Structure 1
Amino acid sequence: MVQPENDEAGHGREGALAALNEVATDPEVVKQFGTAAGAFEPEDYQQLIALAWRHQFDDDRTKFKRDLRALQEHVSQRILDRAELSE
């Protein structure tokens, strides 16, 4: 898992994670995105915040994009696996 940086006390990350979790559990978001919304796990949100925090000041976004793409592929595979199980 990516280790977050640039926030020794963790307050900024905690607030960002709380906001992300709030949006993720919003009934309208769940209704709109259904299976995809349900495929995310708490660790995915933590990973997303850690990635954003780690790379927020990078001029070169290449590593951030690569790490984000890897997370996206992981979650996408989970969505596909769940879709296959439900058939």
Structure 2
Amino acid sequence: MRFAKEEDLEHILEIYNDAILHTTAVYDYKPTTLENRKQWFLYKHKEGYATLLAGIDSTNEKSIHLHEKLGFPHSGTIRKASIEVFRRS
């Protein structure tokens, strides 16, 4: 594991946009642009934020159990933040 670098952003964007379109891992509605990710990255870096963020869907019991086993504490629950996802066939 390492901190993200600006040259990683194209790959991060590819993964992020795929998650928007095909999963409930993130709660954005539309794919984003490389310019948007660059602005996001630079802002986070400037403000001293870590660029590694994660969340687990509350129905993903296996992932929750794995993270608990590895010592990650439960930090909170985001309520009423989800959107309905329609799976594409």
Normalised by the length of structure 1, the TM-score is: 0.35
Normalised by the length of structure 2, the TM-score is: 0.34
- Which structure has the higher relative contact order (CA within 8 Å, separation 6+)? 1
